[in-house]
Amino acid sequence: MSSIIAGRKPVMEALRAGTKIEQIIFLAGVQGPVVNEITSLAERLKIRVSRADRQQFRELATDATAQGVVAVVRSKTFVGLDELLAIGPAQGERGFLLILDEIEDPHNLGALIRTAECAGVHGVIVPKHHAAPVTPTVVKTSAGATEHMAMAEVTNIVNTIETLKERGYWIVGLASEGTASYTAVDYTVPVALVVGNEGKGIRRLVREHCDHLVNIPLSGRIGSLNASVAGGLAMFEVVRQRQRNAAPQT
């Protein structure tokens, strides 16, 4: 879980002190010299700055106490990739991982983590950059699953995929251009599912390193599913296949 620093002066002091800030969020429409100073300093420090509408902002802090600005400070403990990979074997299970390639919507991130925890995923892998941090919104949307789910933060998803392959994992990416249905792949082997960005999908290099690209057949007029819904369908297909494979034959 991440913690929140609220208020213009506290946020400015945190920036000056070198506090490890994930993101600074302004209430939409807030302006002024201090806002400009915070923005400028955050940009120099390469800290993500974003704007939120009133309802989204109130999920983080009240307007009165926050003065239109909050800083999200990391407190979620991430584990190393080796530790993540050890979880499945320690439970006597074949590895089951979820790779989130630049998921930016905190609600999608929270929903995916919640589903992963319910589906028995051993760990979630996220990139350090260009992705939503684990904010209180993520924790709330996940219904607290962030506290139970092991997560690894990596600098390079492609390199991580290659490491997983060396460790016996098959990499399955969800993509509209996938040539097979998501139900047509064998998930009874160690597997890592890749879910891409809400708008752009899985990045090209990441797609090229997947062993399978699968699609979810759609019948309606809308051309794609929400990332968390698509990820949920694929995760529970893994569960279905593994349960069927484990069932005694009659």
pTM over 0.85? The answer is no
pLDDT tens digits, residue range 37-86? Answer: 999 999 999 999 999 998 889 888 877 778 999 998 876 789 999 999 99
The CATH label, of 3.40.50.300, 3.40.50.970, 3.40.350.10, 3.40.1280.10, for the domain at 81-246 is 3.40.1280.10
pLDDT higher at 222 or 168: 168
Q: Residue 250: which pLDDT band, with cuts at 50, 70 and 90? A: very low
What is the pLDDT at residue 1? 54
Q: Supply the CATH classification number for the domain 3-73.
A: 3.30.1330.30
The domain limits of the chain are 3-73, 81-246
Tally of CB atoms within 10 A around 144: 14
Q: What 3 state SS string does the chain have?
A: CCEEEECHHHHHHHHHHCCCEEEEEEECCCCCHHHHHHHHHHHHCCCEEEEECHHHHHCCCCHHHHCCEEEEECCCCCCCHHHHHHHHHHCCCCCEEEEEECCCCHHHHHHHHHHHHHHCCCEEEEECCCCCCCCHHHHHHCCCHHHCCCEEEECCHHHHHHHHHHCCCEEEEECCCCCEECCCCCCCCCEEEEEEECCCECCHHHHHCCCEEEECCCCCCCCCCCHHHHHHHHHHHHHHHHHHHHCCCC
Residue with the bigger pLDDT between 139 and 94: it is 94
pLDDT at residue 198 is higher than 60: yes
The burial class, CB within 10 Å (0-12 / 13-18 / 19+), for 31 is exposed
